[in-house]
Chain A
Amino acid sequence: MTRYGMLIDVSTCAGCDACTMACKYQNATPSGMYWCKVLKGEYGEYPNSGQTVLPMACQHCQDAPCVSACPTGASFYDENRCVQVDYEKCIGCRMCINACPYNARSYHDVDQKTTPYYEGYEMTPYEEMRAAEHPIGVVEKCVMCKERTAQGEEPSCVKTCITKSRWFGDLDDPTSEINEMIKKLGAKPLMEDLGTEPSVYYAGLV
């Protein structure tokens, strides 16, 4: 079995949001929707303070609450054990959004024609070309760049990371680089105790 996973070393993340933008343009998500985002915050009290960053997207859980919760089976595990949404089956009930402890899902309920990227203008040719990839009335999320990975490429966020703080690979392959790095960095999934068994690992969380 293949189980695609990702490792993010937060301790070297620059918080630049290159991944956010790479994801945005890779997937041409509708205006205002971001499958990948970098949440920002801070810790400590002046002068012993600093910034925190947390790149977030679908954690591709192996025991995914969204898949269990979906009443129509629209959310499912694909052949690489990534969680996907079948837009044909989705009825837009948003049960999965409620179920996801990571807030990884977005509801697409706005016609892109009425809210193009440039507010007050028509859609750019880029949007016109790609709007059809996003049917209305369904729930969307990170697809682990399935089209790219099918061709042996890394997901867009991994490829673009300017500090090379993301790794992608097969978690079921004990010899994979990602497994080696997870061990080396002592990475763990987020909110492990929920038992969702995410395929995204984090190192260096404050």
Chain B
Amino acid sequence: MNMSTINLSRRGFVKGTAALAAASAVAGSLTYKPVKAFANTPNAAVQGQAGEVYGHCRMCMLCGSCSFVATMKDGVVVNIEGDPDRANNAGTLCPRGKSAIMNVYNPHRIKAPMKRTNPEKGMEADPGWVEITWDEALDTAAEKIRECYDTDIRKLVQMYSFAPYESGHATLGIGLWAMALGTPNSSSTKGQMCAIHYGGCYTLSAFPTVNYDGVYCNYLVILGKSVGYDSGLAGGDARTFANCLRRGMKYVTVGPRASMEATRGEWVSAKLGSDLSLVYAWMHCMLYEIENGFDEPFVKNRTNSPYLIDANGDYVRGADGKPLIWDASSDSAKSHDDPSLADPALFGQYDVEGTPCQPAFQAFKESLEGFTPEWAEAYSTVPADKIREIANNLVKYASFGSTVEIDGQTLPLRPAAVIIGRGITNQEDGTLCDIYSRVLNMLLGNVGNPGGIISNMYCDYLPNELDGTTEPYFEAKTCTKFNWPPQGLDYADVFPHRHSTNTLMMRTMCDPEKYGFDYKPSVVVSCGSNPITVTADPEVAEQAMKSVDYVIYQGCYHMDEMAMLSDLLLPEHASLETHTCHLFPGNEGSATNIDPEFAASNRGVVVRKGMKPLFNTLDGNDQLIEIFDRMGLIDLWNETANENGCIGYAALTGFGQVPPAAVQFEDPAYKLEPGVKYTAEEMFDRCLKSAFGADKGLDHLDKVKMMPYNGFYGADVYPSHRNQDIRFTVYLEAQKRSGDFLIPKLREVQESGFDLEGTIKFPIDELRRRYTALPYWPENRQIDSAPAEFDLYGFNYRQPFYMFRMANMDQDPIRRDYSSKYMPDDNAILVNAKTAADKGIVEGDVITVESLFGTTKGRAHLTETVRPDSVGIGGARGRKTSWMGKDLLEDTSMNDLMSGDFGYIDPIHGGVIDTVRVKIYKA
């Protein structure tokens, strides 16, 4: 149902869907059928659609970075290619994007709205689906949600995710509508293993993460991240990597496996979970061993290093509240923005009006004193000489003081950087790794400069005007609120900086009272989100879904685990069937590069004008609009859209990102009017006209495919050039402040008789220690304290075919077949050949990997490309229901080895620990 008719009345809509439902009933049921899925000729084929459909792809997290052209013949998609008109993917398309065709013709798709008739829920229990009209389906959904709204909105749990579906990400789907209703329970099921956002958000207003400058960088150290090759991204990262190789750039990949990227550059094999020791040792070298080992002018003038701190670690502030700096030239304390400040002192002990104090950098340096390369070697197994070599190279390549001319302007050139990813942040010390790798780049003076690291949204820095520093935003926002009894089921009150703690929510949902809640959730609305297989602990999520009264699967696509636990299915069009638009890069542009030819200078609204939908599905946004209308809350919907914009990531608008992550309603004439129910297409149309002009609506976008919006060009690509005053935070004063607020509250709860420590399985004293402003070493991590029988480390790595679970990536029959035949690591467990020999395992043996939390099976693939103390499992695979194909149950699944329980997450940003201690044996 692409509702292009303007002013579609509710009656007209109902008639339309009823007619469709009737037609489908006549043609034989189009509902889910395990075998004769294609017994009926699909709708579009009848209509003889020919020519091309085109638009942006949204089948990975870089939503909209690539555009495609699909060829249609007699209503059937016969081919799909990259759109050569789109600069970002330059005609290329990755192996996942190609499978958009199979995404449309997936026989496991849900083809009509349905309700459950068998009350017993389970992964294999036949739900007894009965096809219903859209009218009935939407009325039911509206009634259930309205009931929560009228009684206690907290009872409504909404979840969103990466999805094959639009509603998980588009317009107001990413939690915004639920937040507008007032529930604290809007939770992301994605991102629990991608908690790499906190450090970037904290230090350089970078959400979702941080890139390197593929144009100028000459030396890049990669920790736990894929910068293009291992993800196989068509959107530019891989191409940038290739171009950098061609111009001689050096890549150093630190990790447990010789990945494609490690192969193309230098591989430094390090023990899993040891990255923090390396980051500390490199900073130690830069501060203690290497002459001119850090960019002193940058550290003095562009960071808070010289800020004076008192014995408590708080800034010493002047009368105007501004932090003070010791000016060595005048031997006096001055405000950080005092124009007469000539030589900020980094070291020494001072006294400001009776307060003994020191520059933060003095404390910072001292805290790193013990982290020598020899110390790091003992932990990481990386030879101390190699650690020194890398530190020296970083300093050497950074070439402090050098400059580059861009568009006639002189910018600092710092072509060396360290970049990190999920592989290291999803550890118990993930917050530390995340943030101190950013701090390391500050020492190199490369932040926001040519050759260095940069926000992958190229955004302006969010300023703290008083302190003169960047202000932590989004999930790093300094904690100032605490509720007890807790409000959000994800325990956000205790983990205010979490990215997503959905696995915790699954636990609290099962027994809210035990966790201190004074209410019980009753309705779940999943917006194309599947909490069962997306992270760890599928059985807990299953239990959680069974514990509520009613589960609505909105924007569902196929008969996955979530569908098996739902009461109502509101299926959405396939990716190629929608008419929609998106702001690129709205949220996640490029993972890694800032080639001016690429994302920064090619921002804009991109369209997708798909084929006619095959089945009785409905656009996910239109589903939500209909539900709001039927709840009598259409004004709330319209107002939320008006305030936040509706193209791109409207949910991020409130965080003050500049430029905004969603197209805003600029001309008020086009704002959505109260009392009117618009279709999603009409909303987009009005928003576009409002931002671009009366003649630049959706029709116009359909023709031009992309409309530039807030791009950066030339020297302005570099945010530290745009803002030459702001200081970055080497000293994490705001993090300490978060702790100063939070920890006493937690102690109060503990003292009130509720065993909070036991509940979160983490001592509050240790938590206090973690909310600190200076580097420290966290002992007794889970990964170090597992029983000795778990003698190996299990890790997960990227496979280009099976990233995340978006689209039908693990279901696509062509990729499954090809990878089973030609990919050595397909459904395999990578074991070092020597380790395998010790354990009597030979190539092809089916082996079990067991952790404290679960097991998975796979074919042993013996290799020299992994560490002897580690085993690798690639990709995001493994299913819990056979309703999408029995063979999927046999897939090797890393998630089965992990736990998302309290105590197995980073205590600050909440990332689920994704490296686990394991043992292996023949199955």
Contact = CB atoms under 8 A, between A and B. Distances in A.
Interface stretch (B232-240, B364-372, B710-718): B232-240
B800 A24 contact: no
B303 to A, nearest CB: 36
B832 interface: yes
A61 B834 CA distance: 42
A59 interface: no
A21 B833 CA distance: 31
Given A15-B260, A24-B98, A46-B864, A121 B38 contact: yes
A121 B232 CA distance: 30
Contacts of A165: 242
Nearest to A47: B269
A49 interface: yes
Contacts of B75: 125
A152 interface: no
A122 B39 contact: yes
B803 to A, nearest CB: 11
A125 B44 CA distance: 11
B653 to A, nearest CB: 32
Given A50-B263, A51-B263, A164 B242 contact: yes
Contacts of A160: 81-82, 91-93, 98, 234
A17 B864 contact: no
B238 A25 contact: no
A32 B820 CA distance: 10
A14 to B, nearest CB: 4
B101 interface: yes
Contacts of B865: 42, 46, 49-51
Given A32-B817, A40-B822, A42-B863, A16 B79 contact: no
Interface residues of A, number: 52
B77 A126 contact: yes
Interface in B74-100: 74-82, 84, 90-95, 98-99
A143 B816 CA distance: 24
A148 to B, nearest CB: 10
Contacts of B801: 17
A99 interface: no
Given A40-B822, A117-B814, A49 B864 contact: yes
A12 B94 CA distance: 16
Contacts of B105: 118, 124-126
Contacts of A124: 38, 102, 105, 107
Nearest to A27: B79
A125 B37 contact: no
Interface in A104-124: 117-124
Contacts of A16: 94-95, 229, 232, 238, 800
B262 interface: yes
B45 A12 contact: no
Contacts of A118: 37, 105-107, 813, 885
A160 B166 CA distance: 25
B257 to A, nearest CB: 9
A115 B561 CA distance: 27
Nearest to B886: A120
A118 B822 CA distance: 19
Interface string B193-230: 00000000000000000000000000000000000111
B782 to A, nearest CB: 26
A159 interface: yes
Given A12-B242, A18-B234, A156 B818 contact: no
B242 A51 contact: no
A79 interface: no
A161 to B, nearest CB: 6
B73 interface: yes
A149 interface: no
A195 to B, nearest CB: 28
A58 to B, nearest CB: 17
Contacts of B245: 11-12
Interface in B845-876: 863-868
Interface string B784-828: 000000000000000011000000000001110110011110000
B82 A159 contact: yes
Contacts of B228: 14
Contacts, number: 186
B38 A14 contact: no
Nearest to B269: A47
Given A121-B37, A163-B238, A129 B81 contact: no
B678 interface: no
Contacts of B90: 164
A50 B267 contact: yes
Interface in A58-101: none
A45 B817 CA distance: 30
Contacts of B241: 14, 163
A42 B864 contact: yes
A39 B822 CA distance: 7
A65 B815 CA distance: 31
A119 B228 CA distance: 32
Given A44-B864, A160-B81, A51 B258 contact: yes
A31 interface: yes
B232 A18 contact: yes
A126 B76 contact: yes
B36 interface: yes
A57 interface: no
Contacts of B246: 12
Contact of B239 (A25, A129, A163): A163
A120 B242 CA distance: 41
Contacts of A37: 818, 822
A22 B81 contact: yes
A41 interface: yes
Nearest to A56: B822
A42 to B, nearest CB: 5
Contact of B259 (A51, A120, A128, A163): A51
A113 to B, nearest CB: 12
Given A11-B245, A51-B865, A117-B814, A17 B800 contact: yes
Nearest to B75: A125
A205 interface: no
A38 B801 CA distance: 13
Contacts of B512: none
Interface string A128-140: 1110000000000
Contact of A46 (B94, B242, B868): B868
A25 B824 contact: no
A44 B94 CA distance: 29
Contact of B867 (A11, A46, A162): A46
A74 B349 CA distance: 88
Contacts of B864: 42, 44-46, 49
A18 B82 CA distance: 11
A18 B107 contact: no
B486 interface: no
A138 to B, nearest CB: 21
17 contacts: A12-B242, A15-B229, A16-B95, A16-B232, A18-B95, A18-B800, A21-B95, A21-B99, A25-B101, A51-B258, A117-B102, A117-B817, A120-B35, A120-B885, A125-B76, A163-B229, A163-B242
Interface of B: 35-39, 42, 45, 73-82, 84, 90-95, 98-99, 101-102, 105-107, 228-230, 232-234, 238-239, 241-242, 245-246, 258-260, 262-264, 267, 269, 800-801, 813-815, 817-818, 821-824, 832-834, 863-868, 885, 887
Interface of A: 11-12, 14-18, 20-22, 24-26, 28, 31-32, 34, 37-42, 44-47, 49-51, 53, 117-126, 128-130, 156, 159-165
A-B pairs, top 9 by smallest CB distance, nearest first, are A16-B232, A50-B263, A124-B105, A163-B242, A49-B864, A14-B229, A21-B98, A21-B95, A16-B800
Given A25-B80, A44-B864, 19 more contacts: A14-B228, A14-B229, A17-B95, A17-B818, A18-B92, A18-B234, A41-B824, A46-B832, A46-B866, A50-B865, A53-B260, A117-B813, A117-B817, A118-B105, A123-B38, A161-B92, A162-B238, A164-B239, A165-B242
